[in-house]
């Protein structure tokens, strides 16, 4: 009810019938300005201005804070079912500002042990007619030590009950055979600072990273990661920080289920389905479609949901699923929960549809959950 009143108030400020402004027009205008810039500049401008925009409450002209719709997943209480996917706030500098837009959780990263510049620019492309994005950023980040300092930006968010996920990966210079040691280094450093840790083995933009999803490789990696977690836990009087592993949508279905069986057998707490795709079937012929990298947004939605459903039907509740891939509307978010996910994450939908998408998804999912499915 309160949310509805606030929405009406916002419409009152910007009456559609006057023809002057509307809530949607305002984001359309901002988007026109941002889309006139190259995508990476638009991202930098957004990040540079987000704090003061949220601090002054200007975001309230286009969205509102949704009422809480709490859910416990991986043993953690999330204030609502919608989070920001990894890659938007790679260095953890704007966590509370994103929280102010209504996200219940914010996943920062992917971070690596050492700072690294990522791939040469240009490395980010919009596929506007398909509502998609292709990126080959390559884990550009300030490195785990600096990111932990940046995380003062998360204090206000976490005080309000917001959930911080830290997504970890390996440096480009680390040979793939030594990947485990990079994940261990990150685990060691982030363990006391994260509400959950996401292990990224599915980005297409770090050479050979996705081979870590192979049978022997995954077994070795997850055995090492869970052993490290047990050691950290023992040192901290039993404090358990959940770990989720993020998978690619491009694996064959039987490979996905084999990966999930491995995760369950080692006691991994969650699976994030999915990362971006290297498949270009849905964007053939569009400008930038042949750029190297991972495709996200609307063209990824169907496959990503299929993976969520495949996993959910296989694990029957044994491991929770965080859905990521192509959520552009509240209805898309419902599709993910209907397929068996417990949480959803946004990235490309946020770029195309703006901050209002967060409240739209939270409210659509709250209503869906209340309706008893
Ligand atoms: C520009 C960009 C950078 C990304 N960086 C990361 C990253 O560092 N780590 C990661 O796990 N996923 C990363 N992703 C993948 C997203 O977290 C998400 O899983 C994917 O984009 C699918 O969701 P979407 O269709 O809502 O965008 C990135 C995506 C984009 C578009």
> Which of 202, 203, 296, 324 is labelled catalytic?
203
> How much distance in Å is there from the Cα of 178 to the middle of ligand 1?
24
The DSSP code for 344 is: E
**Given ligand 1 and candidates 47, 85, 90, 127, which is best to mutate, with the most ligand atoms within 8 Å of its CB?**
85
Q: Is the dihedral of CA 83, 85, 89, 92 positive or negative?
A: positive
Asked if the model's pLDDT at residue 130 lies above 90, the reply is yes
> How much distance in Å is there from the Cα of 276 to the middle of ligand 1?
6
Q: What is the mean pLDDT of residues 143-171?
A: 98
Strands 196-200 and 124-127: unpaired
Q: Where residue 25 falls among pLDDT bands split at 50, 70, 90?
A: confident
Q: Where residue 373 falls among pLDDT bands split at 50, 70, 90?
A: low
Confidence (pLDDT) at 159: 98
User: Does the active-site annotation cover 203?
Assistant: yes
φ, ψ dihedrals at 73, nearest 5°: -135, 135
Polymer length of the chain: 373
> How much distance in Å is there from the Cα of 236 to the middle of ligand 1?
32
Give the residue from 342, 336, 346 showing the smallest Cα distance to 297.
346
| CA of 86, closest atom in ligand 1 | 17
DSSP letter for each residue of 142-168: --HHHHHHHGGGGHHHHHTT-EEEEEE
Sketch out the chain's domains with CATH numbers.
67-370 (3.20.20.70)
Confidence (pLDDT) at 26: 87
Residue whose entry in the numeric block shows the structure tokens 């947004």: 297
Cα angle: 369, vertex 372, 373; to 5 degrees: 75
**Given ligand 1 and candidates 136, 294, 357, which is best to mutate, with the most ligand atoms within 8 Å of its CB?**
294
């Amino acid at each position: 009810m309160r949310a509805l009143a606030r929405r009406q108030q916002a419409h009152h400020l910007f009456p559609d019938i006057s023809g002057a402004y509307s809530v949607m027009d305002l984001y359309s205008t901002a988007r026109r300005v941002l889309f006139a810039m190259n995508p990476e500049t638009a991202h930098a401008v957004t990040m540079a201005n987000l704090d003061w925009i949220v601090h002054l409450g200007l975001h309230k002209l286009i969205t509102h804070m949704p009422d809480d719709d709490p859910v416990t997943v991986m043993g953690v209480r999330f204030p609502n079912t919608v989070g920001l996917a990894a890659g938007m706030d790679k260095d953890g500098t704007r966590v509370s500002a994103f929280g102010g837009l209504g996200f219940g959780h914010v996943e920062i990263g992917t971070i690596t042990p050492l700072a690294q510049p990522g791939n040469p620019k240009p490395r980010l492309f919009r596929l506007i007619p398909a509502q998609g994005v292709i990126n080959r950023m390559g884990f550009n980040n300030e490195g785990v030590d600096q990111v932990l300092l940046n995380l003062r930006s998360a204090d206000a968010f976490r005080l309000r009950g917001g959930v911080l996920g830290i997504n970890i990966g390996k440096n480009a210079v680390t040979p793939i055979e030594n990947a485990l040691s990079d994940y261990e280094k990150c685990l060691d450093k982030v363990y006391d600072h994260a509400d959950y840790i996401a292990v990224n083995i599915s980005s297409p933009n770090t050479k050979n990273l996705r081979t870590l999803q192979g049978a022997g490789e995954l077994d070795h990696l997850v055995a090492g990661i869970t052993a490290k977690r047990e050691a950290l836990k023992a040192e901290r009087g039993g404090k358990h920080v959940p770990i989720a592993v993020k998978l690619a949508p491009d694996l064959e279905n039987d490979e996905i289920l084999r990966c999930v069986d491995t995760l369950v057998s080692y006691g991994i707490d969650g699976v994030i389905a999915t990362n971006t795709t290297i498949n270009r079937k849905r964007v053939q012929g569009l400008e930038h479609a042949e750029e190297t990298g991972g495709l996200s947004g609307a063209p990824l939605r169907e496959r990503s949901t299929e993976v969520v459903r495949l996993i959910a039907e296989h694990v029957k509740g044994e491991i929770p699923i965080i859905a990521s891939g192509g959520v552009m509307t509240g209805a898309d978010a419902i599709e993910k929960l209907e397929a068996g996910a417990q949480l959803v994450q946004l990235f490309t939908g946020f770029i195309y549809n703006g901050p209002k998408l967060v409240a739209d998804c939270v409210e659509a999912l709250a209503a869906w959950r209340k309706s008893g499915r």
